[in-house]
Amino acid sequence: MDLVIHSWKDLDLEGHSGTTIVGVLDRADQRDVLLWKKSSLSKNSPSELKIQTSSPRREYNLKKFLNNSLPSRYKNSSLIFLPVRGNIQTRIRKWRNSDSDGLVLAKAALDRLLSEDFLNSNELEYQEIRKFLKKILEESIFQVFPLSLSPSAPAQGAIAAEVRTDDEWALGFVRALSKPEVVSAVEEERNTLKRFGGGCHQKIGVSVLYKSYGKILYQKGLTDSGEVLEIEEQFSDTFFLRPSRLRKLIRCQEKRSNKNEFPWILLKDLFFPGTVKKTRSFFPKS
């Protein structure tokens, strides 16, 4: 055995002695999706809505905004969260055969099971899984949550390879499949969770997104110590003007006989790269 492939979010924050974790491939969609039974969303002002999830993070964050994201007739419906275990197919079957209204899943899990872009995708087992999931989606109404309202579990949607630390050949192979931005985002998310104690019992969502214009960080949840996390930060890549170079440019222009002629200088001498950080922090009213 040369390596083991994991869903990165399921790995211990501390790692294991003798092995190295390497993030591989692109990250799938980080968002959560809520499947609703169509019959549930045809109810008229129900007193309660039952939602299946075993994630404290999802339960904590959904309670804060879900009612307002639904039609007004559900505004006063109580949200009842019920635990559910098993793989994706098992959880869906349990939900389908219960009186629960909704089921929360990682969108990445659905996307991967529905994908045909992998080796052996034509095997009967995978064909049956896709057929089952497509039928469920046709019978359901799905709601995908923005990360700004419901940040993901750290590393959700990311894949990691675990390799023996002394196996240079295997390490070199998997590192060639690594995506630096994915690794950087996941490590920041996992370090944030670790800072608050770690563990899947935490009611903490953390999502880091790299965009063409910079980085976005979302943190929402409740720590074990009772600290409420409601943070949105944007780090924008930009260029800053060098005041000393600008003053020199102005003096140069003033001395020129032809005021309409631009005194060309290298832009890198006039500007320097940097990062702008914008933070919005929300704390509970005292």
Q: Which residue has the tokens 């170079």?
A: 245
Q: How many domains does the chain have?
A: 2
Percent of the chain as helix, strand, coil, to the nearest 5: 35, 30, 35
Mark whether 92 and 179 lie in a shared domain: no
Residue 269 located in a structural domain = no
Mark which of 89, 123, 144 sits at the end of a domain: 144
In the predicted model, residues of the chain with pLDDT beneath 50 are 239, 262-267, 282-286
Check residue 199 and give its pLDDT. 77
Buried b (16+ CB within 10 A) or exposed e, 54-87: ebbbbbbbbeeebbeeeeeebeebebebbebeee
| 127 lies in some domain | yes
Distance, CA of 265 to CA of 94 (rounded, Å): 68
| 36 and 68 fall within a common domain | yes
> What letter represents residue 64's amino acid?
K
Would residue 203 count as lying in a domain? yes
pTM higher than the cut 0.85: no
CATH number at residue 23: 3.30.160.40
Domain check: are 24 and 43 in the same one? no
Q: Does the residue 182 lie in any domain?
A: yes
Report pLDDT digits (tens) over 75-101: 999 999 999 999 999 999 999 999 999
Residue 107 pLDDT: 98
State the pLDDT at residue 80.
98
pLDDT at 211: 87
